[in-house]
Structures are given as structure tokens and as C-alpha cells.
Amino acid sequence: MTQTTLLGCVACGAQNRVSAESAGKTLRCGKCGADLQPAGVAPCTQAGFAAAVLEAPLPVLVDFWAPWCAPCRMLGPELEKLSGQLAGRLKVVKVNIDENPALAAQFNIRSVPTMLMFNRGKVVETLNGAMSAMAITQRLQTHLTAGH
């Protein structure tokens, strides 16, 4: 029997069954036709923020960070882990506040790391400081199970 996994589409939120034999191939969503991308934390800028976050069909966790911030660097691997664990249920993006100061100002980011959880374009949760993937999941659980 062929081993399969579910891969969530970041464009439309549909779950797609992917077989192990398809590794390395370009995969497309069966619902919307968008390229399926493996879980991971994507960089986000001012120019792409509306499409990547505010208009996303899935809840989005935005990590506001800076390269000079040690706790931000500690948080990075935890966000990668979280992204893999919650693929198809949560999208994770990073905003470098040094390169996107207008976004940091727009969302009143006063310290880093600060994470904002967006659902349907609205901030529904704020998390401050470095924490484990498990702690982040626990804090976000009500927003993930409430549906999107």
C-alpha cells in the first residue's frame, strides 16, 4: 500500500492527499490548481502582506522579528516545527521589522519577537517572546479548532 500524507493548500486551504512517490515533483492543489508547497515559514514583506496574511484562507501566524535579536533566532526553529505540525491548518510567515518598519508601526510592534495570529484578516491573538512550538500551539488551539 502506498504511503500518503495530507498537504494543505496555502491558497485555498484544501487538504490534498500526496503520495510518497510524488516527492520532488511539482504538485498542484486539486481544488484551486495552485502550486502546493511544503510546510515552512515564509518571509513576508509590506508588498505581499495583504495577499499572504489578510486575504489568506487559513489562519496565519506572523512572526515580527529582527536578525540582531537572539530570542528571535531561538524562535526560528520552533516556528519551522510548528509549521510542519500544523500544515494545512495554519500558515506561518516572518516579517523582518528592520526591512518593513511600516508594518511594524501599523501593528504597534514594540518588542521582538512578537507574533500576531490573524484569522480572516483580523488579529485574534498576540504572543510575545520566544517560546516552544508546543506552547505556541496551546495558546493558538482555540483559534485553530474554532474553524476558519
pLDDT at 12 over 90: no
pTM of model > 0.95: no
- The stretch 99-110 carries a mean pLDDT of 96
Torsion sign, CA atoms 101, 104, 106, 109? negative
Question: pLDDT grade, residue 10 (50/70/90)?
Answer: low
Question: pLDDT grade, residue 63 (50/70/90)?
Answer: very high
- pLDDT of amino acid 86: 87
Q: Which of 9, 29, 44, 72 is catalytic?
A: 72
pLDDT at 147 over 50: no
Question: pLDDT grade, residue 11 (50/70/90)?
Answer: low
Q: Where are the alpha helices (DSSP H) in the chain?
A: 49, 70-85, 101-106, 133-145
12 is catalytic: no
Backbone φ/ψ region at 12: left (φ over 0), alpha (ψ -120 to 50), beta: alpha
What's the pLDDT tens digit per position in 19-53?
767 666 777 888 888 776 656 788 999 999 999 99
What is the chain's mean pLDDT, rounded? 86
- The stretch 70-95 carries a mean pLDDT of 90
Distance of CA 110 to the CA centre of its chain: 21
- Sketch out the chain's domains with CATH numbers: 1-37 (2.30.30), 39-145 (3.40.30.10)
72 is catalytic: yes
- pLDDT of amino acid 44: 93
